[in-house]
Structure 1
Amino acid sequence: MPAAMREPYATPQVAAAFSAFPDAARERLLAARTLILDVARRTEGVGAIEETLKWGQPSYATPETGSGSPIRLGIPKSDQFDWALFVHCQTELTRRFAAHYPDVFTFESARALLFRADEAIPEDALRHCIAMALTYHLRR
């Protein structure tokens, strides 16, 4: 998606966080941000998304409805991967993601989906995982 068509950032600090990401990962992280915001709009019960920073990473929460578990975007510790979508490690989300998509994603224990910048984003599967996170408290 061209930069001019992206939704404005919630704060200058969130914009700075995206600017600070390595070039190889930034476009993929921005694409994931777009998916999160789009899935939130299209998913019943989610409500408004709050975009903030948590641990220096862009974070997406559902404070209006409390429907979901926060999602964060960032760089994983593993140098084999370029970017990650993090979820709360005390949820069952990565286990649920793995049950649906065992051969689609690489998982980092109970906390993240890991990606390489040179690989295509499995958009339909990632949209489903995002929706599961954003409605986690509705479906427990």
Structure 2
Amino acid sequence: MNKAIKERFDAYPEPVKARLLALRELIFSVAAELALGEVEESLKWGEPSYSVKTGTPLRIDWKTAFPRRYCLFFHCQTKLADTFRELYGDAIELQGNRAIMLPLSKPLPDAMIRHCITLALTYQQRKLLPLLGA
């Protein structure tokens, strides 16, 4: 983790930081399991951002406007939000077509979020498939 990204994580309140770091690790874990190559980690719009060549970038953040939630952001012009709605219905809280909202008060729904991350990191291979091949 480079200095700027570490400083960004260090600026979050401790409970938020722990959740975001767990989400970060899940992104790296999925990329490694799928052998997607190097994950580029950077800051985009002040948010930690993760990308691989086969996918669409993901960002993670916490906003004071939604203090009880943290977010997994994805490109709003993809089919990801529609696919997540179709697959997970009311089990997933989406903010429009750009983010999954995760409550700080509940454990991370690992299997569901792992699947969402997989679809995002392999988006370029799936974008023409119905429901992204899910």
- TM-score scaled to structure 1, two decimals? 0.85
Q: Which amino acid aligns with 2:49?
A: S
* Residue 27, structure 1, aligned to residue 14, structure 2: no
Compared with structure 1, are the counterparts of its residues 95 and 85 closer, same or farther at alpha carbon in structure 2 (3 Å cutoff)?
Answer: same
Q: 2:76 aligns to what SS in structure 1?
A: coil
SS at match of 1:107: strand
- Letter of the 1:41 partner, please give it: A
* Over 4 Å off, 4+ runs: none
Matched residue, 1:53? 43
RMSD of Structure 2 on Structure 1 (CA): 1.4
| Cα distance change on mapping 1:76 and 1:94 into 2, 3 Å | farther
How many Å apart are 1:24 and its aligned residue? 2.8
- Provide the secondary structure at the position in 2 that maps to 1:35: helix
Identity %: 37
Could you say which structure has the higher helix fraction?
Answer: 2
Cα deviation 1:77-127 (Å, max 9, x = unaligned): 642642100001111111111111112210000100001111111000100
Residue of structure 1 aligned with 2:72, choices 85, 102, 126:
85
The size of the alignment, in residue pairs, is 127
Unaligned runs of 5+ in 2: 128-134
Aligned to 1:43: 34
TM-score (norm 2): 0.89
State the SS of the aligned residue for 1:118.
coil
Q: 1:53 to 1:23 in 2, by over 3 A?
A: same
Return closer, same or farther for 1:77/1:36 CA change in 2, 3 Å cut-off.
Answer: same
Residue 75 of structure 1, CA deviation: 1.4
Distance 1:105 1:77, change over 3 A: farther
**Structure 1 segments unaligned to the other structure (5+ residues):** 1-8
